[in-house]
Amino acid sequence: MNEKNQIIEDLLWRHTTKKYDKARKIPQEDLNILFEAMRLSASSINSQPWKFVVIESDEAKERMNKTFAHKFQTNQPHVFDSSMIILFAYNPHYSRDDYAEVVDKGIKDKRTKPEKRESAFGGMFFAELNTDESGDTSAWTKAQTYLALGNTLHTLARLKIDSTPMEGIDTDLVNEEFKKELDGYQCDVALAIGYHHIEEDYNAKLPKSRREHKSIFVHI
Ligand SMILES: Cc1cc2nc3c(=O)[nH]c(=O)nc-3n(C[C@H](O)[C@H](O)[C@H](O)COP(=O)(O)O)c2cc1C
């Protein structure tokens, strides 16, 4: 494997940060690139069934801090030590109205001709395949949101910004506390971003470890 390749270098460089340097915050120009990269994430039928709640103000961080009252306290210090926390939320009831925003943006971006608007809704067939009797699309829309998370992790590595993906959040408390901002979306995973603490982030010093190629690939 050629480890000089930029993609491989990025992926070897990144690690899950266990302790942040409180003194360092992310410059706005890097945040602009990050948010744009997140917006450009791919998704099934271009559904983009996500919402990203960026917890950056002191007041919002206080609210996030409260959600660690009962569970996953190992992730709690990231609330104030990292630069910010991003909630990755998905739409649990993706509907034709939601897809209309995508279709109409496609027309605005000149990807779809206005007269083809109705046929552009053909993509909804795929969403319907992934909708249960009660209108629940969670399994499908949540999967799309994790694609955005993966894209975000790689983008952060390119920008040399550290991060901690966190399924270790109290989803009941997070979804209750940020109910207004989530506006019907569901958050099951969050991401802390910032810069790791040089002495105290033990994970920064550990070698990367992954399953062997032959164990995970089947070449036929
Ligand atoms: C979806 C997801 C959720 C994770 N949740 C947590 C978490 O709550 N706390 C934590 O410290 N690490 C969490 N991790 C980090 C993983 O343990 C880590 O990515 C894995 O061990 C590989 O290590 P690396 O990221 O340093 O390469 C999570 C990772 C992912 C992708």
Question: 79-96 pLDDT, tens per residue?
Answer: 999 999 999 999 999 999
| Residue 61 located in a structural domain | yes
The total number of structural domains in the chain stands at 1
Mean pLDDT computed over 93-115: 97
User: Domain containing 27 — which CATH number?
Assistant: 3.40.109.10
CA dist 90 and 127 (Å) reads 14
Q: Identify which of 11, 16, 146 to mutate to test ligand 1's pocket (most ligand atoms within 8 A of the CB).
A: 16
Please give the distance, rounded to the nearest whole angstrom, from the Cα atom of residue 112 to the centre of ligand 1: 39
Q: Is residue 216 part of a domain?
A: no
Q: How far apart are the first and last CA of the chain?
A: 20
Domain for residue 199, yes or no? no
Q: What is the mean pLDDT of residues 104-123?
A: 96
- Answer yes or no: is pLDDT of 3 > 60: no
Please give the sequence-ordered ranges of beta strands (E in DSSP) within the chain, or none if there are none: 50-55, 84-90, 162-166, 186-194
The whole-number pLDDT of residue 4 equals 86
Protein residue with its CA nearest to atom 18 in ligand 1: 16
Range of the structural domain that residue 111 is part of: 21-192
Size of the chain, expressed as the number of residues it contains: 220
Q: How many angstroms is it from 167 CA to the middle of ligand 1? A: 8
In a domain, 81, yes or no: yes
Taking the C-alpha atoms of residue 191 and residue 145, their distance in angstroms, rounded to an integer, is 12
Q: Measuring from each residue's beta carbon to the nearest atom of ligand 1, which residues come in under 6 Å?
A: 15-16, 75, 164-168, 189, 203, 208
70 falls within a domain? yes
**Domain annotation covers residue 1:** no
pTM of the model: 0.97
CA of 3 to the centre of ligand 1 (A): 23
The residues, any chain, with a CB within 8 Å of residue 18's CB and separated by 6 or more, are 164, 196, 200, 201, 202, 203
% of the chain with per-residue pLDDT over 70:
99
Residue 183 lies in a domain: yes
> Whose alpha carbon is nearest atom 7 of ligand 1?
166
Report the nearest-CA residue for atom 9 of ligand 1. Answer: 166
14-38 pLDDT per residue, tens: 999 999 999 999 999 999 999 999 9
Judge whether 8 lies within some domain: no
Residue nearest atom 26 of ligand 1, based on CA coordinates:
15
What's the angle, vertex CA 75, arms to CA 71 and CA 76, rounded to 5? 80
DSSP annotation of 176: H
